[in-house]
Each structure stands twice: as C-alpha cells, then as structure tokens.
Chain A
Amino acid sequence: MKQIFSLALLAITGWLLWSLVPYGQATEPGPVSSHYIAHGLQENGGSNLVTSIVVNYRGFDTLGEVTVLFLSVAGAGFVLRRRSGQRRVAPRPSSEFVQTGARMLFAPMVLFGVYIFVHGHLTPGGGFQGGAVIASAVLMLLLADRDHHLPHGFMGWLESLAGFGYVLTGFLGLAIGGSFLANKGVLPLGQWNRLFSAGVIPIIYTLVGLKVGTELSTLLDVMVDSGRDHGEADAHGQKGGAA
C-alpha cells in the first residue's frame, strides 16, 4: 500500500514537472531581464550581470538571504552546543605530512577565496562562493589538526562587523542615492572591467564574503567539535552494551 502510494506520488510529480514547466519555449529573456542585460552595465558599472542583480537590483533580497544563512548557522550551533559535563576526548593526531600540507595550503586557499569575492563584479563568483572556499580551507585545517580551534570571539566580531557594514552601506544608499542599497551616487562607478569599479558592489560582496566565510567556518568548527563528543558517547555506549 505504502509503495503504491509512493509510486503514485512520484509519477504525479514527474508528470506535473514534465508537462507543466514551460520549458524551452522562451526564445529571449523577459522584459525585466532584458532591461538588466541592456542597461545593467550603465546603471551599475559591473560587467557580471548576475552580480549586478544579486547585489544591487535584488540587494535587499540578498540581505535577507544572508540573514537566513546566519539563522540556520545559529540554529545548528544551538542544536549542537556542548552540554555541560561532557568531556572532550583527545583524538588521534593525524600524520606530520597531513598537518604540514594543510598548513601550507591554508594560506593560498584563503587567498583564492578572497580573490573570488573581490572580483565578484568582473568574473564568475562572488561573496558566497569566495566565503565557501575560505570555509573549505578552514575545514581542511580542522580535519588535519584535531586540536585546532577557531577563535570564536574574533570570528563573531568579524561576522557582526560584516553584517553591520552591509546594512550601513544600505543606509548610505538611502541617504545619498535615494533608496536602500542604492549604488548610483554613493561611489563613482569607475571604468569598465577594472577592479575598482561598479560603485558599492565590490564593497558589499567583500562584506558578504567575510560574513559567509566566518559563518560557514564557525558551523564547521561546531560540527567537528560535536563529532568528537559523540565519538566519546558511542564508545561509552558500546562498552555498556546499550548500542
């Protein structure tokens, strides 16, 4: 019965998606997209139109997105918080090669992440992608050196400052440019295809990159830490025969 129900649900979903999505019918972008493509460069100065949309046209939406990411990381941190009385186990250290290699690669990886989010308005990439690269560098360090710990106070401050800077840039736009997160008039748009161009877009994407990088790194730190706790709990459970 259950299998039949599942199969029917799958079949209906597949049929709906296949037949109802207006797929391949659009021969050209819609009116809003056409405006973005035709005038995005003049209005924002950034050659990457996706970045123009994410950071400027839909900048308020991105602010909400950053908030959602923060909330989910805060939720995960709350769920995985260390109970009082739980002792940390000393994990088996990884080999010298792994530790040295991870330390050697850490700085170039962070630099690459910074490169990605600083050039978000020119090349594919941006704050979210650069932040993810930075977080993967931190993950590598955490996995290689199990005793390594992130400075939570510093990360928290950096994250808060980045979020505050984003909102502050928005209000600057409100004060100078006439609307929240406005780009025009706040900073000069600069020359096409240069690093210092596109007004506030690189600034916002740098702040987003810092925020996402610190958030995801903190999340990974909490997860790795919690895994240690449960490793200990399992060992006890198996000794007692409960598991």
Chain B
Amino acid sequence: MNGLTPSTLYLATAILLILMGLAAVLVKRNLLKMVLGLSLVDTGIHLLIAALGAHPGRTAPILDDAKYLADPHTLLARVNLVVDPVPQALVLTAIVIGVGVTALMLSYVVRLYARRGSLDIGEIGRLKW
C-alpha cells in the first residue's frame, strides 16, 4: 500500500468498524452493547463490499444523463463511466437483512430483560457448557 489512497482509507475504516464490533461482542457483558457490536460488524461489512465495487473517478450506476444514450456501438463505453452496480445491489440486500436480524436480537434482549431484570450476559448461564 503506497500512500493514503481513498480505497486504502475505505478498507481501513471498514476493518476498524468490523474489529470494533467484534471487540464489543467479545469483551462487553451488556447484551445491548453486544447487539450494538454486531450491528457495527454489519456496517463494516457493508462498507467493505460497497467499496469493493468503487472505482476512482467513476460515477453512480444511474444512467440518467443523455450522454449514456449513445449509439449501440458505444454501449461498452458505459462500462468505463460508472462503478460496479452488483456490490451495491448486494449491500442493499444485506442492509435490509441486517435490520431484520437486529430487530429480532433486540426483541430477545427485551424478553430476557423482562425475565431476569438484568442485561448482564454473565447472569444468563443456563446454556453455558
């Protein structure tokens, strides 16, 4: 890696987010903070995937300008103008699934708190082996 290019910055930020989330899951004992950590891991992965398809100097994959509507023989020229749309579509899916998973985790936390009156994972030892 030579110098601080934007893609190095994306990669470093994404890995930092993932590691922060993982550290929260491993170290914290509060269930809410663990859910927050998993959410951070999720965000880091989204950033990683979305940035994988990014190319410097290209624009969003929305062909709403007349310059994209050229003759059929310049169809392939479009490929060099916009970034890769596939990672963005995959991240769109992943964000929605992440929201659903977080909602389900938080519901479990609410239920556990109602039963135990505590958010400490150390006090939930019945499934421990």
Chains A and B form a bound pair: yes
Closest residue on chain A to residue B85 by CB atoms: A49
Binary interface encoding of chain B residues 10-23 relative to chain A, with 1 for a CB under 8 A from any of its CBs, else 0: 01001100110011
Chain A nearest CB: distance from B3 CB in Å?
12
Of the residues A14, A24, A34, A48, contact of B79 by C-beta under 8 Å: A34
* CB 8 Å contact bits of B35-76 with A (1 = contact, 0 = none): 000000000000010011101000011111000110000011
Interface of B is mostly: helix
Residues of A within 8 A of B15 (CB): 14, 17-18
Known: A10-B23, A10-B26, A29-B53. A72 touches B101 (CB 8 A): yes
Interface 1/0 per residue, A109-128 and B, CB below 8 Å = 00000000000001110101
A80 to B89, CA, bound (A): 32
Residue of chain B at shortest CB distance from A27: B55
Question: In the bound complex, do residue B89 and residue A53 qualify as a contact, i.e. CB atoms below 8 Å apart?
Answer: yes
- Cα separation A173 to B113 with both chains bound (whole Å): 48
Known contacts being A33-B85, A193-B64, is A219 close to B80, with CB within 8 Å?
no
Residues of chain A at the chain B interface (Cβ within 8 Å): 3, 6, 9-10, 13-14, 17-18, 21, 23-24, 26-30, 32-34, 36-42, 47-50, 52-54, 58, 61-62, 65, 68-69, 71-73, 75-76, 79-80, 122-124, 126, 128, 132, 192-193, 212, 216, 219, 223, 226-227, 229-230, 233-234, 237, 242-243
The interface of chain B, by Cβ under 8 A from chain A, is 5, 7-8, 11, 14-15, 18-19, 22-23, 26-27, 48, 51-53, 55, 60-64, 68-69, 75-76, 78-80, 82-86, 88-89, 92-93, 95-97, 99-101, 103-104, 106-108, 110-111, 113-114, 117
Q: Return 25 A-B CB contacts under 8 Å, by A number.
A: A6-B26, A6-B27, A13-B19, A21-B52, A24-B7, A24-B8, A29-B79, A33-B53, A37-B79, A39-B75, A40-B85, A42-B75, A48-B62, A50-B85, A65-B93, A69-B96, A72-B103, A73-B103, A75-B107, A80-B110, A122-B62, A128-B95, A128-B96, A216-B99, A233-B114
